[in-house]
Structure 1
Amino acid sequence: MRDFRDAKAMAQTLRESLTGKAVTVSHSESLELVSRMLGVADWNTLSALLHAERRDTAAPIARLKTTTALYPAVPLRDLVPFPNATYPMFVGRESSFQALNQAFDGAREVVLAVQREAGVDDPRFADVYEIGIVAQLLELEPLADGTFRVLTRGLRRVELRSFATESAAYWAEAVDVSEGVARNARDLIRRIYQRFQDYTAVHGIIVPDIWLFFDQTRDPGQIADTVATRMKLPIKDKYELLATLDPAKRLERIEALLDLPQRPVSANYATTIRKALNHADRRHHQYATLEHLLLALIDDAEASAVMRACDADLAGLRQGLVQYLDDDLKHIVTEVGSAEPTAAFNRVDQRAALHAQEMGYTAVTGANALIALFPETRSPAARLLAEHGVSRGRADKAIARGVGKEMG
């Protein structure tokens, strides 16, 4: 046995096996049973012994606080959260909703854990990455489609020691990690400041507050997290930034990623993103959703070409989207500020860049964004596409015939 995680896995296996034989034990009872099977008085003693062995055989990833805390937990499929950022999330899994209920009944803190594979519907400890964050819950609101919108703010990084379902809710044992003392990184921050301006221009990223933040902040860790939150990266690359605990090293990794050749956004798609945000702003919506984006994609040359190749009813699709935005999103109307893209909006934008790379496009187009929207199966946008004749299979076939390439 290598460490406490093996004991946790044994306890989980034991619990599942007993459940199959109509014998129900709690998570804590299964831990105690495994401890006794291994000749140790209780779980606390076994955990201490295993942690001591681990310290003797391997260097820890960071200096850790000694107290492990138990938190309600939410697994994230396509989002890597960072401290000091606010995230609107849309929750559909029952175990996640139950975890949120537990958090709202307590200290309003929840562990956000990043899934290794988005397709896993009921993740276990092996299915989530080691580093997550503790977030503060700000709002929880039920939506008409049966899902829930939850607004969270990231607080701090933690190392997960366990992740399991208990009493129908996800729970995680986690311990805070130390990021150490930040070194002077003035020159590195200055270079990232300059390169990130070019990066946002190439990718059509609208970040009206970022430059003021740079002017007022000299904390390398905060600056690194703020930039990482806004970068368009695959989940694995973004997670590596979250898991890089040393602030200066995190900045260095960001600088290297900013220096990589980036897939530019086509002029048409940049206009489409601005139009989607304008659709939200005109309605005084707090967030720009996938439905705002899809409404803009109807007028995007490349995306609309793919939809017409699918024999889509674009007039009906437009009518359905306008009705949804005007009637069903009244709960996100606000009188102040500009609309912020939802996490789903940003996920689609990131997947669009990856799809453009896979297809060999010189720039990201609205057609790539249309394809990137299909995995968001719980969204009204995906449902409306299906209702009006646009499926992933038909769209893929149209793009394979050359429909949707940048038209200039």
Structure 2
Amino acid sequence: MRDFRDAKAMAQTLRESLTTKAVTISHSESLELVSRMLGVADWNTLSALLHAERRDATVPAARLKTTTAVYPAVPLRDLVPFPNATYPMFVGRERTVQALNQAFEGGREIVVAIQQEAAVDEPRFSDVYEIGVLAQLLELEPLADGTFRVLTRALRRVALRSFATEASGYQAEAAEVSEGAARDARDLIRRIYQRFQDYTAAHGILVPDIWLFFDQTRDPGQIADTVATRMKLPVSDKYELLATLDPMKRLERIEALLDLSQRQISANYAATKRQALDHADGRRHQYATLEHLLLALIDDAEASAVMRACDANLAGLRQSLAQYLDNELKHTVTETGSAEPTAAFKRVDQRAALHAQEVGYAAVTGANALVALFAETRSPAARLLADHGVSRGPTDKAIARGVGKGAQ
């Protein structure tokens, strides 16, 4: 035997076999029996011996020695980890903490299971998705509120064959999955590289090392997982990427998610953007600015609903915007032509599509544009929003309650 997981798998098999014969033993008793079968006095001694074989590496890479194996498990509510990335996890459920303790006492390996519904406090097998991740625990930090911060390195995808509660916490039986052979995807990778640059710029995502990674790596699966890790998506969309085992199909799905030009725009928001241009044209302004857009958003059904949920003074905001546009933008008045959206206007429009994708909207609404406007911190529009009681935190909470979603 070369790995403690083999011993645990044997213990699980022994326990299940005895159960079929109406003989019930605990998990710890089955471990003790397997230890004696292997000629060791008890499980603590066997665990120490096996752990000692692994000390040549501080955090050794995990390898499944059999088709399936049993691990301590951690269910996650709002995070989908991808292989080859390091994540901080914040845990507090008692059974999760028990599973972590068991993992730290052994080989520091766990199965991460993604919950289908975040509201479920005691998940069972039917409450988690089929594909999970085998991960390595790096460090455990207790927090002041009684929870724990766990730094974890995701290693690779596994298929969950079971997920249950044991005396030692959550446990899962996991099987290896094949992701298929890597194929040449240079053209697809080049397109994703270009689109992801635009995506990170619009979202304000700092990825200083990823461009070097693109230059050095041509593995479609690794590139897909690296990009997916950094995309802001609903859990369901991220899980679809995790569960897409074929690397090429995973890359194609990511390309589609990055292609915001295909994102549907709600009828209300399309009318709002036209109204913003009309506000500029009516004043013969050369450019349509964020202030023109915000004035139009006051009359947008979804955006105004969110602002009212924040107790905004919409009448005061409308008056302040009109004064600004009439007095501060006189230098942009032109005799001919129609208004051209400014670069900031275009950034907000693009960022609105990203936000709609992030919160799972089928179409972009004015509420998404309102959120996107907060990032333009130097604009008078953002300042006027704050002056009249609209800030990012309450806006996010209103949208989370379903305000501003409109008819999807």
TM-score range, shorter chain: 0.5 to 0.7
Q: Give the CA deviation at 1:204.
A: 2.4
Tell me the distance in 2 between the aligned counterparts of 1:177 and 1:366.
Answer: 40
Q: Give the CA deviation at 1:206.
A: 2.1
- What does residue 365 of structure 2 align with? 360
Name the SS of the counterpart of 1:198 in structure 2. Answer: helix
Q: 1:96 to 1:106 in 2, by over 3 A?
A: same
Tell me the distance in 1 between the aligned counterparts of 2:367 and 2:398.
Answer: 23
Q: Give the CA deviation at 1:88.
A: 0.7
Name the SS of the counterpart of 2:138 in structure 1. Answer: strand
Deviation by residue 1:117-143 (Cα, 9 ceiling, x = unmatched) = 111101011111111111111110010
Tell me the distance in 1 between the aligned counterparts of 2:241 and 2:360.
Answer: 22
Q: Which amino acid aligns with 2:368?
A: A
Percent identity reads 67
Residues 1:68 and 2:68 are matched in the alignment: yes
Name the SS of the counterpart of 2:67 in structure 1. Answer: coil
In 1, are the aligned partners of 2:234 and 2:360 still within 8 Å (CA)?
Answer: no
Residue segments in structure 2 that go unaligned for 5+ positions in a row = 1-10, 23-63, 266-304, 314-353, 375-393
- What does residue 88 of structure 2 align with? 88
Q: 1:193 to 1:355 in 2, by over 3 A?
A: closer
Deviation by residue 1:228-282 (Cα, 9 ceiling, x = unmatched) = 1111222122111111111112111111222244599xxxxxxxxxxxxxxxxxx
Q: Give the CA deviation at 1:393.
A: 7.9
- What does residue 103 of structure 1 align with? 103
Tell me the distance in 1 between the aligned counterparts of 2:371 and 2:132.
Answer: 32
In 2, are the aligned partners of 1:73 and 1:112 still within 8 Å (CA)?
Answer: yes
Tell me the distance in 2 between the aligned counterparts of 1:201 and 1:164.
Answer: 42
Q: Select the residue among 10, 17, 39 that pairs with 1:32.
A: 17
- What does residue 16 of structure 1 align with? none
Tell me the distance in 2 between the aligned counterparts of 1:352 and 1:200.
Answer: 14
Name the SS of the counterpart of 2:207 in structure 1. Answer: coil
Listed as ranges, the matches of 1:166-245 within 5 Å are 166-245=166-245
In 2, are the aligned partners of 1:72 and 1:109 still within 8 Å (CA)?
Answer: yes
Q: Give the CA deviation at 1:89.
A: 0.9
Q: Give the CA deviation at 1:359.
A: 8.4
Q: What TM-score, normalized by structure 2, do the two folds share?
A: 0.54
- What does residue 374 of structure 1 align with? none
Q: Give the CA deviation at 1:203.
A: 2.3
Name the SS of the counterpart of 1:363 in structure 2. Answer: helix
Tell me the distance in 2 between the aligned counterparts of 1:226 and 1:355.
Answer: 21
Q: 1:169 to 1:203 in 2, by over 3 A?
A: same
In 2, are the aligned partners of 1:116 and 1:127 still within 8 Å (CA)?
Answer: yes
In 2, are the aligned partners of 1:70 and 1:174 still within 8 Å (CA)?
Answer: yes
Report how many residues are paired.
Answer: 259
Q: Which amino acid aligns with 1:185?
A: A
- What does residue 6 of structure 1 align with? none
In 1, are the aligned partners of 2:310 and 2:398 still within 8 Å (CA)?
Answer: no
Tell me the distance in 1 between the aligned counterparts of 2:227 and 2:216.
Answer: 15
Q: 1:258 to 1:357 in 2, by over 3 A?
A: same
Name the SS of the counterpart of 2:161 in structure 1. Answer: strand
Q: 1:140 to 1:241 in 2, by over 3 A?
A: same
Q: Which amino acid aligns with 1:212?
A: L
Tell me the distance in 2 between the aligned counterparts of 1:29 and 1:351.
Answer: 51
Q: Greater CA deviation, 199-208 or 106-115? A: 199-208
- What does residue 152 of structure 2 align with? 152
Q: Give the CA deviation at 1:33.
A: 6.4
In 2, are the aligned partners of 1:72 and 1:110 still within 8 Å (CA)?
Answer: yes
Tell me the distance in 2 between the aligned counterparts of 1:395 and 1:96.
Answer: 27
Q: What TM-score, normalized by structure 1, do the two folds share?
A: 0.54
